[in-house]
A and B are shown apart, each in its own frame.
Chain A
Amino acid sequence: MNYLLHERLDRLAREYALGTLSGGARRRFERVLAQSPVAGRAVAAWQERFTVLSASLPPMAPRDAVWHGLEQRLFTPSRKGSGWWRALGGVLAGVLLCTVVLQLQPELIGLERQSEALPASYVGLLVDSENKPAVLASSYRHGRKLTLKLLQPLKVPADRVAQLWALPSDGSAAFPIGVVPASGPATLLLSDSSEKLFFKVSRLAVSLEPAAARAGDKPTQPFVLSGHCVKLW
Chain B
Amino acid sequence: MPPVDDLPTLMSRTALRDRAAFERLYRATCAHLLSVAFRILNNRDRAEEVLQEAFMNVWHNASGYNPVVATPMTWLINIVRNKAIDALRSGKTERGSTLALDDEALAVAGDDALEPQRLLDDSLTKAHIDSCMSTLNASQRQALALAYYRGMVHTDIAEAMNAPLGTAKAWVRRGLDKLKDCLQAAGVTA
Contact = CB atoms under 8 A, between A and B. Distances in A.
B93 to A, nearest CB: 13
Given A52-B188, A53-B120, A59-B35, A66 B48 contact: yes
Nearest to A65: B48
Interface stretch (A12-20, A123-131, A150-158): A12-20
B122 to A, nearest CB: 3
Given A57-B32, A57-B35, A189-B52, A19 B153 contact: yes
Nearest to B68: A44
Interface of B: 1-2, 19, 23, 26, 30-32, 34-36, 38-39, 45, 47-49, 51-52, 55-56, 59, 69-71, 73-74, 77-78, 81-82, 85, 89, 97, 99, 104, 119-123, 125-127, 129, 147-149, 151-154, 172-173, 176, 179-180, 183, 188-190
A22 interface: yes
Given A50-B148, A56-B122, A75 B19 contact: yes
Contacts of A66: 30, 48, 51-52
A53 B77 CA distance: 11
Given A47-B77, A57-B119, A63-B48, A52 B183 contact: yes
A40 interface: yes
A5 interface: no
Nearest to A16: B82
A49 B48 contact: no
A104 to B, nearest CB: 20
Contact of A61 (B34, B129, B183): B34
A73 interface: yes
B179 A55 contact: no
Contact of A41 (B52, B69, B147): B69
A231 interface: no
A70 B26 contact: yes
A41 B189 CA distance: 13
Q: How large is the interface on A (under 10, 10 to 19, 20 to 34, 35 or more residues)?
A: 35 or more
A34 interface: no
Interface in A23-43: 40-41
B31 A44 contact: no
A60 interface: yes
Given A19-B151, A52-B129, 10 more contacts: A18-B147, A18-B148, A19-B147, A58-B35, A59-B2, A60-B34, A62-B30, A70-B56, A73-B52, A75-B19
A60 B188 contact: no
A70 B55 contact: yes
Contacts of A67: 23, 26, 30
Contact of A20 (B81, B97, B147): B147
A19 B87 CA distance: 13
A172 interface: no
A9 to B, nearest CB: 14
A60 B176 contact: no
A45 B126 contact: no
A57 B71 CA distance: 18
29 contacts: A14-B180, A17-B78, A19-B82, A19-B147, A19-B148, A20-B172, A22-B153, A51-B73, A51-B74, A51-B77, A52-B123, A52-B127, A53-B123, A53-B179, A54-B36, A55-B122, A56-B122, A56-B126, A57-B119, A59-B2, A59-B35, A60-B47, A60-B104, A61-B34, A62-B34, A62-B48, A69-B52, A110-B99, A145-B45
A53 B133 CA distance: 12
